[in-house]
Amino acid sequence: MKTRIHKLLTRLKSYVWDDDLSTMGRSRRIPVFVLRVMHMLIRELLGGQLNLRAMSLVYTTLLSIVPLLAVSFSVLKGFGVHNQIEPLLYNFLEPLGPKGAEITEQVIFFVENVKVGVLGSVGFALLIYTVIALVQKIEAAFNFVWQIDHLRPLSQRVSSYLSVILLGPALIFIAIGISATVLNMDLTQKLVTMEPLGSLVLFTSKLVPYVLVSLAFTLIYIFIPNTRVQFRAALVGGVLAGVIWKITGWGFAAFIASSTKYAAIYSSFAIMILLLIWMYLSWLILLVGSQVAFFVQFPKYMTMHRVRFILSNRLREQLAFQLMYLVAYNHSHNRPPWNLDQFVEYLDIPGEPVHRMINVLVDAGYLLEITNDDPPVYLPLHDIDTIRLVDLLTDIRAAGESRFLSLQQLTPVQAIDQLMFGLKGSCETALGERTLKSLVQDVDDGLEPGASPSK
């Protein structure tokens, strides 16, 4: 029996992992993709990072929920639909049962008693900061999923976050209002009385909550991560997360309705414990959906064993030269400058190591980051005719050294010192006085040019 199980697992492993997805037929690619995603999600959940991010967001949400709703309340008041914020909050807390309505009333009571005029400029600034801090924490969690190691620049961060905070509630209620209007139209009411259209309309109306939740999750996956997310990937993650969230809500509500022991154990703290659990599950589902979207957009990163994106010395040098060459080529030919997403797409490697190398080149004084553009773009900091390739190579090899860990701290070994001196001399001889401009001119002399962002 053990031998048969082992053979079965070996065949399953070979079926799922031995071939590349791009070479498979549709009949095999879809089930293999699903199995790989399931494997990756289980591995990520067992790894604990998604769980930790979800728990961190629960704590931040508790601190920021009242300020966030107060800002949303003031925006919706301008549209005359501020009274609808209570049903929306109740829908989120509905799995908590009757206690969900009680929590909703308490939160709305706090929100309605927040008097912005009494806070003053400092208090109002702290209110906005608390809300922005929540969205920043959310972006950091999504950036982790998308393997992005940096937030948006501060100026873009404030404007983007405020856009989400101010326009998000309005768009949600517009969508809810449109769906409610369509369902209440005379034509719709007449269709309900006609079969089989009536059953179809009723079935569609039951799907509306799923559609709205999935659409909301899709928009979050598109706008929150600090990278370009394809609509197809965001939609797949949003639909999956939306369905799981609704099903989990049913299961959580059934658990609360059928269990009476938690109240005996936790007494009056029971509802707070359940609220924390529900918020944790909600954030975890949202992050899982984002992880699925990442795998849909980058299926090649689904591997059987965890991969650490650490650049080898050879790859560091190759990547640095390629980045500088691409920037210099577009700059000398008056083409649009590159941004991080275009680098990642062209080089076909994860964004995190690319951004780390860009930071090295910026810190070393070779690249200039233009943060006025969204996303930021990169230009040569100096005339490319003055940037020597040998200096670029030397600085790349020395990147990361400091007074705490440097070449001078090593105990001298004469044989090794002579060897390294010889290697350095060989590099200087091979590169000579060649500059970045000469590298670009080689392309103009007949070598294959690099692709530009416009291609």
- Render 80-129 in DSSP notation, one character per residue: T-GGGHHHHHHHHHGGGTHHHHHHHHHHHHHHHT--HHHHHHHHHHHHHH
Q: What is the distance between the alpha carbons of residues 110 and 113, in angstroms, rounded to a whole number? A: 5
- Among 270, 301, 332, which residue terminates a domain? 301
Same domain membership, residue 404 and residue 256: no
Q: Tens digit of pLDDT for each residue in 348-362?
A: 887 788 888 999 999
Report which of 44, 41, 19 is spatially closest to residue 32, judged by C-alpha positions.
Answer: 19
Give burial (CB, 10 Å; 0-12/13-18/19+) of 217. buried
* Residues 6+ away with beta carbon under 8 Å from 25: none
- Among 256, 280, 301, which residue terminates a domain? 301
Q: Say if residues 311 and 397 touch (Cβ distance below 8 Å).
A: no
Number of domains in the chain: 3
**169: pLDDT strictly greater than 50:** yes
Same domain membership, residue 290 and residue 319: no
Same domain membership, residue 236 and residue 198: yes
**321: pLDDT strictly greater than 90:** yes
Q: Tens digit of pLDDT for each residue in 284-307?
A: 999 999 999 998 888 877 776 666
Report which of 259, 224, 39, 60 is spatially closest to residue 145, judged by C-alpha positions.
Answer: 224
Q: Can you read off the two tokens belonging to residue 206?
A: 């039951």
**189: pLDDT strictly greater than 60:** no
Helix (H) or strand (E) holding 131: helix 116-145
Same domain membership, residue 163 and residue 271: yes
Q: Can you read off the two tokens belonging to residue 36?
A: 């790989």
Q: Can you read off the two tokens belonging to residue 303?
A: 């591997």
Q: Can you read off the two tokens belonging to residue 324?
A: 């500088």
pLDDT band at 233 (very low <50, low <70, confident <90, very high): very high
Q: Tens digit of pLDDT for each residue in 121-158?
A: 666 677 777 777 888 888 889 988 888 877 877 767 76
Q: Is 167 inside any structural domain?
A: yes
Q: Is 307 inside any structural domain?
A: no
User: pTM of this prediction?
Assistant: 0.72
Peptide bond into 98 cis (omega under 30): no
Same domain membership, residue 137 and residue 79: yes
Q: Say if residues 434 and 442 touch (Cβ distance below 8 Å).
A: no
Same domain membership, residue 257 and residue 326: no
Q: Say if residues 149 and 75 touch (Cβ distance below 8 Å).
A: no
Q: Is 117 inside any structural domain?
A: yes
Q: Is 87 inside any structural domain?
A: yes
Q: What is the distance between the alpha carbons of residues 396 and 357, in angstroms, rounded to a whole number? A: 9
Q: Which of 4-8, 31-35, 330-334, 336-340 has the lowest mean pLDDT?
A: 4-8
- Among 272, 301, 330, which residue terminates a domain? 301
Q: Which of 37-41, 126-130, 186-190, 360-364 has the lowest mean pLDDT?
A: 186-190
Mean pLDDT of 37-51: 84
Peptide bond into 375 cis (omega under 30): yes
Strands in 338-339's sheet, in edge-to-edge order, are 338-339, 377-380, 367-370
Q: Is 455 inside any structural domain?
A: no
Helices and strands (H and E) in the chain: how many: 18, 3
Domain extent at residue 58: 48-301
- pLDDT score for 172: 58
Residue 428 identity: E
Same domain membership, residue 123 and residue 82: yes
- pLDDT score for 7: 77
Residue 370, beta-bridge partner list: 377
- Cα→Cα distances 313→136, 301, 316, Å: 34, 22, 5
Q: Can you read off the two tokens belonging to residue 196?
A: 């089989």
Same domain membership, residue 248 and residue 394: no
Residue 129 identity: Y
Same domain membership, residue 40 and residue 137: no
CATH number of the domain that 425 lies in?
A: 1.10.10.10
- pLDDT score for 455: 41
Q: What is the distance between the alpha carbons of residues 323 and 329, in angstroms, rounded to a whole number? A: 10
What are the φ/ψ torsions at residue 311 (nearest 5 degrees)? Answer: -75, 135
Same domain membership, residue 270 and residue 179: yes
Half-sphere exposure of 51 (CA within 13 A, CB side): 9
Q: Is 83 inside any structural domain?
A: yes
Same domain membership, residue 121 and residue 10: no
Half-sphere exposure of 84 (CA within 13 A, CB side): 17
Q: Is 146 inside any structural domain?
A: yes
**243: pLDDT strictly greater than 60:** yes
Q: Where are the alpha helices (DSSP H) in 22-97?
A: 26-47, 49-79, 85-93
Q: Tens digit of pLDDT for each residue in 66-115?
A: 777 776 666 666 555 556 666 667 677 777 777 777 777 777 776 666 66
Same domain membership, residue 294 and residue 216: yes
Mark residue 387 as left, alpha or beta (left: phi above 0; alpha: psi -120 to 50; beta: remaining). beta
Q: Which of 122-126, 336-340, 401-405, 417-421 has the lowest mean pLDDT?
A: 122-126
Q: Is 449 inside any structural domain?
A: no
Handedness of CA 103, 105, 106, 107 (dihedral sign): positive
Q: Can you read off the two tokens belonging to residue 311?
A: 């650049």
Q: Can you read off the two tokens belonging to residue 287?
A: 């992050």
**328: pLDDT strictly greater than 80:** yes
